[in-house]
Amino acid sequence: MSNTKLFSPYTLGQLALRNRVIMAPMTRCRAHEHNALDELAATYYGQRATAGLIITEGTSPSPNGLGYARIPGVYSDQQIAGWKSVTKAVHEKGGKIFLQIMHTGRVSHEANLPEGAEVVAPTTKQVSGEMYTDSQGPLPHTTPRKMNEADIDQAIEEYVQGAKNAIAAGFDGVELHAANGYLMEQFLNPLVNDRNDEYGGSIENRCRFVLEVAERTAEAIGKDKVGIRISPYGTFNDMGAFDDVETQFVYLAEKLKETGLVYIHIVDHATMGTAPVPVEVKHKIREAFQGTIIISGGYDKERAEKDLEEGLGHLVAFGRPYVSNPDLVERMKKGAALTPPDFDTFYTPGEKGYTDYPTLEEEKVG
């Protein structure tokens, strides 16, 4: 047990992580009015503070990016105040926490947006399928308005300000969500991005938005405090592989190395039914970036240990196991059984399926 890599400390930029177990970002739809979180979220994240690093649920830097019902934002004073109670709860227990900044772009319905906000994307192409709304149930995604240059400048500003707000709220850093089909990946992917200006067309142009956000955010809060999540080959939200996918992500990783971001977090949702990211592509991204790599997707302790030993990444993110096992680190250390998650309460309001999963200690008492 003692010589396992997974439970050994790791230095991420300036930050001392007590182990290499990362809580993956997970949308839980528990925000209240005005897309702010409260003490319930502080309890939820505080319960999971023994992770080496928590990455929060996707959080919008703009009213336009709040595509799902009840997701949090990071642009208003009320939202920042809610996040302050979260970071305090985690830090009091010695944990570390990054905010995931997610602008949903066209993965959205206008019924989920606050008044005055609008669905914008690099394209007018609508996402197939439906989006759940609290007011009217599932509805076809709203057709986005294609962003012009001023919209792009505004969105970049919003990410930068969101990152500054995150630091003001006490976060140790931010993760830019460039995965899973949201705004940043809508720029990256040529199946979606049909622009013929400097933000579309070639690989360089398709990467421009992501790289500008990354550079500006790094300048604003410090490059050691900015990570990024990517999902090459991911198919979620009408994405999918394209001819030069490998070349594009290796180029992106090289550029992110120049910017000096603190990590790249690679999503592989093969265990959720999408195409796997080929191992050699993961290695190429790691070699091009040269910095910290977080691997994720379907991990248990054994597979995590094996992939760390083989050098596929430096840190391992766990998603669903963290929904239902607040003390995941302790359970894995002891080889204890994991509580299975209740899928029905992933996105429902309230404490059920959120803060009521027991620790090992509580199971014994109960």
Instruction: Please give the residue ranges that form the binding site for ligand FMN (CB under 6 A).
Output: 24-27, 57-58, 100, 102, 177, 179-180, 229, 267, 269, 271, 296-299, 318-321, 346
Contact status, residue 176 vs residue 230, Cβ threshold 8 Å: no
**Least Å distance between CB 183 and ligand FMN?**
13
CA-based R_g, the chain, Å: 19
Give 10 or 68: the residue with its C-beta nearer to ligand FMN. Answer: 68
Write the burial class of residue 180 (CB in 10 Å: 0-12 exposed, 13-18 middle, 19+ buried).
Answer: buried
Give 147 or 277: the residue with its C-beta nearer to ligand FMN. Answer: 277
**Least Å distance between CB 364 and ligand FMN?**
26
**Least Å distance between CB 192 and ligand FMN?**
17
**Least Å distance between CB 125 and ligand FMN?**
22
Give 102 or 252: the residue with its C-beta nearer to ligand FMN. Answer: 102
Q: Which of 217, 202, 190 is nearest to 251 (CA)?
A: 202
In whole angstroms, what separates CA 4 from the centre of its chain?
26
Give 180 or 355: the residue with its C-beta nearer to ligand FMN. Answer: 180
What pairs with residue 315 in β-bridges?
294
> For residue 130, what is the enclosing H or E element?
strand 130-133
Write the burial class of residue 170 (CB in 10 Å: 0-12 exposed, 13-18 middle, 19+ buried).
Answer: middle
**Residue with structure tokens 């995150």?**
166
**Least Å distance between CB 149 and ligand FMN?**
28
**Least Å distance between CB 234 and ligand FMN?**
10
Q: Catalytic site residue 251? A: no
> CB under 8 Å to 112, separation ≥6 — which residues?
66, 67, 68, 69, 131, 133, 134
Q: Three-state DSSP class for 361? A: helix
Give 22 or 119: the residue with its C-beta nearer to ligand FMN. Answer: 22
One-letter amino acid at 130 equals: E
Dihedral sign computed on CA atoms, order 338, 339, 344, 348: negative
**Least Å distance between CB 235 and ligand FMN?**
13
What does the buried/exposed string (b/e) look like for 9-31 if buried means 16 or more CB atoms within 10 Å of the residue's CB? Answer: ebebbebebbbbbbbbbbbbbbb
Question: 281 φ, ψ to 5°?
Answer: -70, -40
Give 195 or 229: the residue with its C-beta nearer to ligand FMN. Answer: 229
Annotated catalytic residue: which of 182, 199, 322, 357?
182
Tokens standing for 69? 């019902």
Give 89 or 101: the residue with its C-beta nearer to ligand FMN. Answer: 101
- Residues annotated catalytic, as ranges: 182
